[in-house]
Each structure stands twice: as C-alpha cells, then as structure tokens.
Amino acid sequence: MLKRFVDFLLFGNIYVAFGAFCLVQSTAHQLCFTSSLLPYSSLCFFATLFVYNLQRIFYRPPSTLPTSSIRRRWIANHQTTIKSLTLIGFTGTLLCFFSVDVRIIFYLSPLLALSLAYFLPFITLRKSSIFKLITLTTVWTIATALVPILIGTASFFHPITTQQLVIHVLLRFSFMMSICIPFDIRDLAIDCAENTSTLPQLIGQHKTIAIAAAFILFYTLVLFGQFITHAIALSVFLALLTTSILTLILIIKCNTHRSEYYFVAAIDGTMILQGILIMISL
C-alpha cells in the first residue's frame, strides 16, 4: 500500500510539482519578500502537475524499448489517473490565476508554449540535445526565480540590489542545470531508441556527470562568495550549502544502473529539500 502511494506521488508528478512550489518559496524567503507568494507558488504547483502529466497522455515510447522501467509501466497502467491529475492541474492553474497578479499571464504564457513545444509529438524540438537541456533549465529558472522576483519587487521598494537578484537567478539556473543533466543519463536508452542526441551519447556518462558536478560546484563557490561578502545570512548559507553538498553526492553516484526512484525521488527531492531548509532557517 505504501509503495503504491509513493509511486502515485512520484510518477503522478505530484512530487516534482511540490518541488516547484518549494523553489518559489525558497526565492521568496531568501530575498525576504514581504509577500510569501503563496498564490503564485500554488500556481506553479498546479501548472507543473498539468504540464508534466499532459505530456504522458501524448507521449508514446518506442515499442522496441524494454518494459523493465517501473516508471513506464506505471504510466502505461494508470492512464486514467494521469488524465485525472492533468485535469486537476489544469483546473487548479485556472483557479490560481484569479488570485495572482494579471502580469503572470504575460510572464508565463511563453513558458507554457515552450513547454508544450518540448514534448508534443508533432513538434520535434525535443530531438535537439542542447535545446532539450536548455529548455528545461530555463523554464524552471524563469518560473521559480525570475518571475517571483518580478512579482516580489515590482509593487514596493525592496532593499535588494540588482546584482543580488542577478546572482540569485544565476544560482537557480546552475542548480537546475546540475539536477536536469542526470536525467539524460536515466533516459539514455529511450533517447537512443528515439534517435535523440543527448550529452551522455555525445560525450559519455562520466563526462556528463563531470559537467553536472561542475555546475553544482560553481553554485557552491558563488554561495561562499555571497556569504563572505555578507550578501546572505549564515542560516541561508548553511541551508543552501547542505542542499548543494547532497546534490553533488547524488550526481557523482549517478549512473544508468540506478533505480528510477534514485532520480525521481532523490535528485528531484533536492528542490524540496532546498525549499524546506530555507523556510525553517528563517
């Protein structure tokens, strides 16, 4: 029973949607916004639930792929659940629009279009290795860092410098890049079957892991720089450092033989961990 519930949370994309919620909250708390951005955080939760499940309605893996994947079997056997979650995500997104700034429509519409173009079967943008990675990272960075900044700083005076805001967005991009890259290793077999060129195919698993590790190491070095210059508080620094160290360990131990739970629960879980640690540290 517990395993069925865990599979529902993980493979039904509720877990990753909560990760989006936590990252928005992380930004709001790190930058000390007077608003907690709960309506927008909820919007991100439902929008992620909608988009991630919608792709599983349209997407059909090649028939030549082995059926050993726990995730693919769950998706194939729970299409009704996936469609229901898609409807819940869509409904929740619409309802949340009534409680957020109207500018959100202009901020998020291009991201929605880009997300749909990424996976719809009649559009082949996903086939590009560079586009695939950059799209995922950019959409997550804009939705969970840049848009919250636009919302949180536009309506009142805020004592945070432009440099701090830019660094925050840069750090979020680096963090998201470091946890998006390992999923190319997880999806190596399916990408090969679909003739989709990805980093592990082009440069091998070890070099791919090294690139992901380089992004999180860069993230960590910038964190130290911010702490030394007193740009962030000790509690925030320790929360983010804990997340970055755990992320680095998970990346280093990543390989194609790892269980899908390793990627979906552990690596995606670093988003949730970051948000929770930041919220309890302040």
- At 8-31, the pLDDT tens digits run 999 999 999 999 999 999 999 998
| Whether the predicted pLDDT of 197 surpasses 80 | no
Task: Point out the least confidently predicted range of 17-21, 152-156, 160-164, 181-185.
Answer: 152-156
Say how far residue 194 (Cα) sits from the centre of its chain.
23
Q: What is the DSSP letter of 100?
A: S
Residue-level pLDDT at 156 = 46
Average pLDDT, stretch 197-214?
Answer: 90
| Whether the predicted pLDDT of 188 surpasses 90 | no
Domain assignment of residue 99, given as a range: 2-281
Residue-level pLDDT at 233 = 92
Residue-level pLDDT at 124 = 56
User: By the 8 A CB rule, do 237 and 227 touch?
Assistant: yes
How far is residue 266's CA from residue 75's CA, in Å, rounded to a whole number? 20
Residue-level pLDDT at 277 = 97
Q: What is the DSSP letter of 3?
A: H
Tens of pLDDT along 32-78?
887 778 999 999 999 999 999 998 887 666 555 555 678 888 998 99
| Whether the predicted pLDDT of 161 surpasses 70 | no
pLDDT band at residue 1 under the 50/70/90 scheme: confident
Q: What is the DSSP letter of 267?
A: I
| Whether the predicted pLDDT of 126 surpasses 70 | no
Residue-level pLDDT at 63 = 59
Whole-structure pTM value: 0.91
pLDDT band at residue 157 under the 50/70/90 scheme: very low
Residue-level pLDDT at 128 = 64
Q: Which residues of 10-19 are buried (b: 16+ CB within 10 A; e: fewer)?
A: bbbbbbbbbb
- Considering its fold, how many domains does the chain have in total? 1
Distance separating the N- and C-terminal Cα atoms of the chain: 36
Q: Can you give the CATH number for the domain in which 136 is found?
A: 1.10.600
Average pLDDT, stretch 185-205?
Answer: 78
Residue-level pLDDT at 160 = 58
Task: Point out the least confidently predicted range of 73-87, 88-102, 212-226.
Answer: 88-102
How far is residue 281's CA from residue 30's CA, in Å, rounded to a whole number? 10
